[in-house]
A and B are shown apart, each in its own frame.
Chain A
């Protein structure tokens, strides 16, 4: 997470590569944090649905180079108890204001 690490392909080594490269470690951490948050929520749902979900991601470097990704997923757990009638197809509107 340091500037040096995030620079990835930078540096002045003989085998330096000036092409942009994906930083795999961070991508894996970010993806895993989101995946686990969703999995934990699903485990609590037991067949119900989560509506209006909000996913917030925070990251911090707690030691030089060590990145911590925190993901918080929250929403409303809802259960369908009867068949519903879908709303009419939404119509385009022109607002006069």
Chain B
């Protein structure tokens, strides 16, 4: 069995084709997936199968001078983050649809905020029902749920609709010189940071909820949150949240009784085996 390609690789042609936005090659009968074997079998258990590893990338510039002095929300950074997320999601959806997938599960999200730009990279496995005849391109979903959680969700009568995201970057205004001197010997709350954090959180969560409603969802699950100052802008607070939008697809929620598990892999040794007689 030869692992080497039998066809010569024309990198230049591939780059041109890939850069044009078209799929480099049809998936054919080969399947690539970052799912574990267990996860693939879990998918098969609910009548779905993995199709292809798909990705979506976006890099958006942040206009110069955004991180300096100011008050309120840093609109340029917030817009850049939202645009990067939207473009990356659009691209991974498009790739999944082109590969014959009806959705993407287990999406890994890598996001980096620099002073000059925002990078968002999504990577996941396109999946589809085994019996699917034709992909509905308008209904390709993207979800960061694992394949196992996706299977559980479907069994309970719910379906994922897409990724909801919300971000906000807010200035934490510097204290006046007088206030700094007055407070330097006191343990006192830095209300500028507290207020900036609250403001960023409120805006980001509201945006995430708005994007969930726009997808027709009734909830967001597996929400992740990243917050705090940035190394290059210590007087700016970021708050970013994202999660999978879900809605009840069945007529009613299907109760799935959880199983109680007692782990026997406790790392702490409660007794020394050598002392046993």
Contacts and interface: CB of A to CB of B under 8 A. Distances in A.
A48 B64 CA distance: 49
A42 B261 contact: no
Interface residues of B, number: 73
**SS of B interface (majority):** mixed
Given A38-B24, A92-B152, A95-B261, A20 B64 contact: no
Contacts, number: 202
Contact of B152 (A10, A52, A87, A90): A90
Contacts of B21: 31
Given A94-B259, A97-B263, A42 B30 contact: yes
B59 A30 contact: yes
B19 A31 contact: yes
B262 interface: yes
A52 B42 CA distance: 15
Contact of B18 (A20, A32, A49): A32
A15 interface: no
Contacts of A53: 32-34, 53
B58 A20 contact: no
B14 A94 contact: no
B15 A36 contact: yes
Contacts of B15: 32, 36
B170 to A, nearest CB: 17
B96 interface: no
Given A44-B3, A93-B259, A22 B59 contact: yes
A16 to B, nearest CB: 8
A3 interface: yes
B14 A32 contact: yes
B163 to A, nearest CB: 18
